[in-house]
Amino acid sequence: MIPKNILVLDDETLLVNQWARKLKKLKLSKKLFSDVVPVDSAQFANELGILRHRQELFRAGKPWKNKSIFDNASVLLVDYDLVGILGEKLYITGEEVSYLVRCFSTCGYIVGLNFEPGNRFDLTLRDHPDSFADLHIPTVQLANSALWGLGSSEFHPWTWPSLSDHWTSFERQVQDAEANLDKPICDFLGFPRDVVDSFSRSVAEFLLEDVHSVTFRKVAFLNGLRGKDEKARKAPPEVIARIAAARVSKWLESLVLQGQDILVDAPHLVWRYPSLLTKPANRLKSWDLLAARTSNLSSLGIKHSSVEAHRFTKSHWLSRPAWFWKGISNNSAIPEVAEPWKTTLPSFVFAEDRSRFVDKSKSKEFISETDSPYARRYVSPVGDVIYAPHARYAS
């Protein structure tokens, strides 16, 4: 994978330069990221003109040949409120920028900044699935080393991928989508038919058409391109594939995986079935191994051979290993399935805001916004973080 730039886009020049310097201090891998580049107002105005010209060509069924800095971006970090970058009369939001960049450039991963006010942890766990930003974070967390896969941090939401790895996974997703544009998405991803039949309304409706037959191409047009863009039926396959990959990836991360009832990841799986833990269950370190964002299943501390038949094998489509819950929950070879009345849950719970296990006495229970029997989760609040909506806390 050829390294590309990280672009930082904000309407305040001092801030954008400050954040670029902080990211450079993280000493990110030069094999993954060639540089951290702040984008100033004048440069953005020019680039916006390029994207909009490409949009016009796209609608006319014509290819574009003009170059854009967004094409050479592995990660775009874009502030939501850009009122000062073009002036109030030409106000554009970070969400509009995310749409134009996703549809009319070859940019990698898009991170939206300050979509919600303050240093916030979202207790809904949904991360705005309709947004064209692939992830939303507070700007204050931009230089959080855990976000970039560079070690642990006190505040480290489980919904975050490792940005150092995930943008390369996205490029593989685009290749998959382009090679399978007219193949049903669920078939390609390996979802068993009975699992697809059990999708909740919120999971199914994102795809807009019949969940068994909807293809990557249809998702790009129905849940990707907007307005007159949606009528551009002569669009190049590589463009459609990039849009489709981003939308399907967002669906998997924000809706499918978050319910933990269609796909389940290691921390939530083993907490329900502690017999799958390979290390002593009375040690916190044994449980924390489960929270590694790694494809190396042997390092997770889970008896992965016991659940291998149910593994989600298109692993580069998710930010962490996952398994099909329905198959596992019917596997009588697992003691907790065969004799559920003998199950003893651990005294530790998984803190969604820290990506690690904590003693239950140090946690707060909340109800996430998922159509799932496993909506109840836990956090272990970090002092300077706002947890909202507050009403989601369990009484």
Mean pLDDT in residue range 325-338: 95
Tens digits of per-residue pLDDT, 279-313? Answer: 999 999 999 999 988 888 888 999 989 999 999 99
pLDDT at residue number 338: 95
Mean pLDDT in residue range 15-25: 91
Mean pLDDT in residue range 31-57: 91
pLDDT of 87 > 70? The answer is no
Rounded CA separation 269/267 (Å): 6
Using alpha carbons, select from 228, 245, 227 the residue that is nearest to residue 59: 228
Domains of the chain by start residue, with CATH: 4-113 (3.40.50), 171-258 (no CATH)
Tens digits of per-residue pLDDT, 169-183? Answer: 999 999 999 999 999
pTM over 0.85: yes
pLDDT of 243 > 80? The answer is yes
pLDDT of 395 > 80? The answer is no
Rounded CA separation 287/276 (Å): 11
pLDDT of 89 > 70? The answer is no
pLDDT at residue number 296: 83
Using pLDDT thresholds of 50, 70 and 90, give the confidence band for residue 90.
Answer: low
Rounded CA separation 261/268 (Å): 10
pLDDT at residue number 329: 96
For the beta carbon of residue 271, count every other beta carbon within 10 angstroms. Answer: 22
Tens digits of per-residue pLDDT, 337-387? Answer: 999 998 888 899 999 999 999 999 999 999 999 999 999 999 999 999 999
Using pLDDT thresholds of 50, 70 and 90, give the confidence band for residue 11.
Answer: confident
pLDDT at residue number 6: 95
pLDDT at residue number 238: 93
Tens digits of per-residue pLDDT, 245-276? Answer: 999 999 999 999 999 999 999 999 999 999 99
pLDDT at residue number 317: 96
pLDDT of 76 > 80? The answer is yes
Q: What distance lies between CA 283 and its chain's CA centroid?
A: 30
Tens digits of per-residue pLDDT, 60-70? Answer: 989 888 899 99
Write out the two tokens for 163: 């940005």
pLDDT at residue number 1: 64
Query: What mean pLDDT value characterizes the chain?
Result: 92
Using pLDDT thresholds of 50, 70 and 90, give the confidence band for residue 84.
Answer: low
pLDDT of 83 > 80? The answer is no
Using alpha carbons, select from 350, 320, 338, 394 the residue that is nearest to residue 162: 320
* pLDDT over 90, % of the chain: 77
* pLDDT over 70, % of the chain: 98
Asked if 368 and 124 touch (Cβ cutoff 8 Å), the reply is yes
Three state DSSP letters for 39-73: ECHHHHHHHHHHHHHHHHHHHCCCCCCCCCHHHHE
pLDDT at residue number 258: 95
pLDDT at residue number 88: 58
Tens digits of per-residue pLDDT, 189-219? Answer: 999 999 999 999 999 999 999 999 999 999 9
Tally the C-alpha atoms within 13 A of residue 35's C-alpha that lie toward its C-beta. Answer: 5
